[in-house]
Structure 1
Amino acid sequence: MSRKLVVCGGSGFLGSRVCKYAVARGWDVTSISRSGEPKWITVTSSAAPPQWAHKVSWERADILRPATYAPLLKGADFVVHSMGILLEADYKGVLQGRESPITGLRKAFSTAPQPGNPLERGVKTGQDQDIRPPETAAQLTYENMNRDSAVMLAKEAASEKVSAFVFISAAGGAPVLPARYIATKREAESIVASEFPSMRGIFMRAPFLYDNSRPITVGMAGMTLMGKIFNDVTRGVMSGFMGAAGTKPLKVDVVAEAVVEALGDPNVKGPIEVPEIEELANKAWRKGML
């Protein structure tokens, strides 16, 4: 049966591969991102679009402005949120020399009170509204990217009677990241599950992702794997501190296949940890071999 899938963040490292595996199942796939179609050299090993990409509708919209993407959700069976940030910074300000990366790091580790979720703030979805709190209008924060964008996307998806919603969460924090990074991911999971119970919520707690098309990720995955081995040898004595650094890394295609398999299985819901992600990907692989 043909399904309609909308992937917010479909032009990214993971999101583009979710689109690929959904196309392989014959689904109708729409990608939503600020850039539209990806710059392929940034997500694959080639600058040319792969064949499957021609079967995806590459749409432009702003995840922080729900009115720009809401019409694209009509008729969708499934929606995926594959967006977020690792570190906070005013990226435009950094690129234009108006703000240093150090300033972004200071903001990330700030203990100042952070705004509550957009449902509590009564954020509307009119054309002139967005989900950046006024005090951080120029700043991408963990709250508005890792949490609020997912919550508002889920709200719009639920209003369109979408049957399943995947949020790409995270396996855990890491020593170099502020606690708010993983806290906002968990808050998004909790809010989506509690506020939209009619929609099957799937929370992929992905570890560090790698692929040969991004050589730097292969080296970083090796270091992460060493952390996993150390964590196993010490029986998890440092797991609370190491977070994702003590979790087995996965190839990005493994997680993408698992996302599509989870959407197609009505029994899959709730938090999905790394072992379950691998099981789902293996299940999808076996189906492809039949």
Structure 2
Amino acid sequence: MASSRRIFVVGGSGFLGQAVCRAALARGWEVLSLSRHGAPKQAAAGHGGPGDPLAGGVRWIKGDALEPDTFREHLAGCDAVVHSVGVLMENGYKRLADIGYRSSSSRSAPTYESANRDTALSMARAARGTAGVGAFVYISARDAIPFIDSRYISTKREAERELLAHRDQMRPIILRPGFMYSPARPATLPIAAGTKVFQALFDRTPLGCALKNTPFAKAASPPLRRELVADAIVNAIDSPGVSGILEIADIERLGARRSS
């Protein structure tokens, strides 16, 4: 049986964060999650009702990832922090107010710098200053995405570099997945199917050669099921030898590993 742990999830009400919380709770771990408003509304968090472990299993912390004084005391006793907050585009399509980032009249809308980099580094610095926090999980990305501002990936790489620079103080676990999908989010399924078709065409037909040196080559990576990524995260936390950057093949291997 896997050892009992306590983890602190930033973004526990988000798409991947929910799956991480469920995977950890299924192992009997204690889960805390940072949110501006504390416990999210059931509909907003995507809870399945009273039977959903998130409904009563997560301890929701009211705070702001960019303001350490609002969450620092809750890091005490935690074994790991999981950061799953971020934005793909700076157009307000994804509200971060309920997943650990405050967007208000006193602060401008989330940017790549604030959401993808600064929230992670704020959490990591607080975690390094807290005795007992041994690992920090950061959800990065495999590569730049065609037609998306290059700052999306550059800010993630900046966060990666600082986490790796302090690996002697806290174990960095940096995941670089591609597109993530889940039956729980039906809209992601056709995108995942299309990505798989494109990857097959890219790998097995002359189309791949023609597009090899174009931005489209970066889209030819296998999509990953959200639940597999979540299992990879909890398995990585529970494996002291896992550290550094985890590419798609590493994530697939860890996600398929049975808990012991």
> Smaller-chain TM-score range?
0.7 to 0.9
Determine helix, strand or coil for the equivalent of 2:187: helix
- The 8 Å contact of residues 87 and 94 in structure 2, kept in 1 or not, is answered as no
Match of 2:225 in 1: 251
The CA distance in 2 between the partners of 1:32 and 1:206, in whole Å, is 23
Match of 2:157 in 1: 186
Match of 2:6 in 1: 4
Q: Deviations over 1:175-223 (max 9, x none)?
A: 1211110111111111111035310000011211111121111111112
**Superposition pairs for residues 22-171 of structure 1, below 5 Å?**
22-41=24-43, 44=46, 46=48, 50-51=52-53, 53-89=55-91, 137-161=107-131, 162-171=133-142
Q: How many Å apart are 1:70 and its aligned residue?
A: 1.4
- The 8 Å contact of residues 239 and 246 in structure 1, kept in 2 or not, is answered as no
Determine helix, strand or coil for the equivalent of 2:71: helix
- The 8 Å contact of residues 211 and 251 in structure 1, kept in 2 or not, is answered as yes
Structure 2 unpaired stretches of 5+: 96-100
Structure 1 unpaired stretches of 5+: 94-129
Match of 1:220 in 2: 191
- The 8 Å contact of residues 228 and 248 in structure 1, kept in 2 or not, is answered as yes
Amino acid at match of 2:222: K
The CA distance in 1 between the partners of 2:214 and 2:68, in whole Å, is 36
The CA distance in 1 between the partners of 2:47 and 2:199, in whole Å, is 28
Change (3 A) 1:157 1:45: closer
Q: How many Å apart are 1:71 and its aligned residue?
A: 1.6
Match of 1:198 in 2: 169
Q: How many Å apart are 1:45 and its aligned residue?
A: 7.6
Q: Deviations over 1:82-111 (max 9, x none)?
A: 100011135799xxxxxxxxxxxxxxxxxx
Q: What RMSD, in angstroms, separates the aligned Cα atoms of the two structures? A: 2.7
Count of aligned residue pairs for this structure pair: 247
2:216 to 238, 242, 264: 242
Match of 2:22 in 1: 20
Determine helix, strand or coil for the equivalent of 1:215: coil
Amino acid at match of 1:58: W
Change (3 A) 1:68 1:178: same
Amino acid at match of 1:88: E
Change (3 A) 1:2 1:239: farther
The CA distance in 2 between the partners of 1:38 and 1:224, in whole Å, is 32
Match of 1:210 in 2: 181
- The 8 Å contact of residues 137 and 173 in structure 2, kept in 1 or not, is answered as yes
Match of 1:118 in 2: none
Amino acid at match of 1:222: A
Q: How many Å apart are 1:73 and its aligned residue?
A: 0.8
Determine helix, strand or coil for the equivalent of 1:59: strand
Change (3 A) 1:131 1:270: farther
- Structure having the higher helix fraction is 1
Give yes or no for the alignment of 1:271 onto 2:245: yes
- The 8 Å contact of residues 192 and 223 in structure 2, kept in 1 or not, is answered as yes
Give yes or no for the alignment of 1:231 onto 2:233: no
Q: How many Å apart are 1:173 and its aligned residue?
A: 1.8
The CA distance in 2 between the partners of 1:252 and 1:9, in whole Å, is 14
Amino acid at match of 1:247: S
- The 8 Å contact of residues 230 and 246 in structure 1, kept in 2 or not, is answered as no
Query: Which is further off, 54-63 or 179-188?
Result: 54-63
- The 8 Å contact of residues 10 and 19 in structure 1, kept in 2 or not, is answered as yes
TM-score under structure 2 length normalisation: 0.85
% same residue: 39
Determine helix, strand or coil for the equivalent of 2:155: helix
- The 8 Å contact of residues 10 and 32 in structure 1, kept in 2 or not, is answered as yes
Determine helix, strand or coil for the equivalent of 1:14: helix
